[in-house]
Chain A
């Protein structure tokens, strides 16, 4: 677990020789020691494919690799930061919400359409967040950003959680998501034009929700 929350909006990461961190470009606030920051063209070890996928999807969040020996403080835009520790499971997160993550995590891109069918594609259109979601898998930690504080809502069998797509941050576990239209929801959530849907998450896992309907 290389991340320590210093405040609700700033994490500190230990960088050790032989270990790599990835972070969003421009998210370094300060560092001490001998630390190198390199723009990542490939986006990580498995990244070439992932990044190509993302380029197509226009969801290219520039990353940089962080290597060396020292301490780095990360934060971005004053957004709240939430640290998620993975123990072999998979985190699904929009790439622009990723502040920094362990290089030990396998990074991939998931076409949401394959999971949620047609509705998954709608979801991309609804949220404007793209059809592709970044996946991180393995053992390690990721620091994600949210507008406002983050609420963790467990998802259990028979207890689905419904989330405003705009407030959705990330999820993990064996979770199916689909867009649904609760009766009346369309009228209720008519803040924007396309928010006629709610995201229904079912299965077993956890969903991270931010205290805001604003996108980052």
Chain B
């Protein structure tokens, strides 16, 4: 068996995966990073809290999510950063004048050429513009085309399609078993009465989990996150 690949400051990939769980950013300027998602770095890199100091201009352009400001920093300088998140699969995505919404807990980092906004769907963030971002998922991401109905917990994000709507399984609610349940409490719910429904042109990103990557509450109680 071959030994493991040994990386150094020069041979680390340039904005690419090191292995399925780790991503190397070649920093030459600025990137937005979610706190605690960087496991190692080489070089001269400064980290600034969002909303602090001399980066106001950048943040005014790129960062429009006050609820998440406390969880993000700007990395500035020259070097290589290794990003990872609890051994989840990590991948980078390129947007070209696009828009993509993603579960807030899954987003690790993005280039300031992208603009970050809060999605109308609670718990999701929307990236607009052109640039690269890095996201984690529980297992590899599966790309699906609409029309499709998705368990909200399995949803990583969506690109280009119209905002999803809720779908309820009325057949279940009205049906025989529903009646039994309402009278006797037997049978329970199938657990699948509610989905997000996607229609139109675009791509839907799925992961396998019902325990999602820990997310920060958005638009609910205005929680401060953690």
Partner-B contacts on A (CB < 8 A):
6-10, 25-32, 36-39, 41, 62, 64, 73, 75-79, 81
Contacts and interface: CB of A to CB of B under 8 A. Distances in A.
A75 B149 contact: no
A130 to B, nearest CB: 20
Contacts of B208: 7, 9-10, 29, 75-76, 78-79, 81
Contacts of B186: 41
Contact of A64 (B144, B191, B204): B191
B128 interface: no
A39 B147 contact: no
A163 B209 CA distance: 28
B177 A38 contact: yes
A137 to B, nearest CB: 25
Contact of B210 (A8, A31, A76): A76
B70 to A, nearest CB: 27
Interface of B: 138-140, 142, 144, 147-151, 153-154, 169, 171-172, 175, 177, 180, 186-192, 195, 204, 206-211
Given A10-B208, A41-B186, A78-B139, A31 B149 contact: yes
With a 10 A CB-CB cut-off, give which of A6, A10, A76 has the most chain B CB atoms.
Answer: A10
A78 B153 CA distance: 11
A175 B218 CA distance: 53
B149 A38 contact: no
A38 B188 CA distance: 10
Given A26-B191, A41-B187, A31 B148 contact: yes
B210 A26 contact: yes
A29 B211 contact: no
A64 B142 contact: no
Given A39-B177, A39-B189, A32 B139 contact: no
Nearest to B196: A30
A41 B186 CA distance: 8
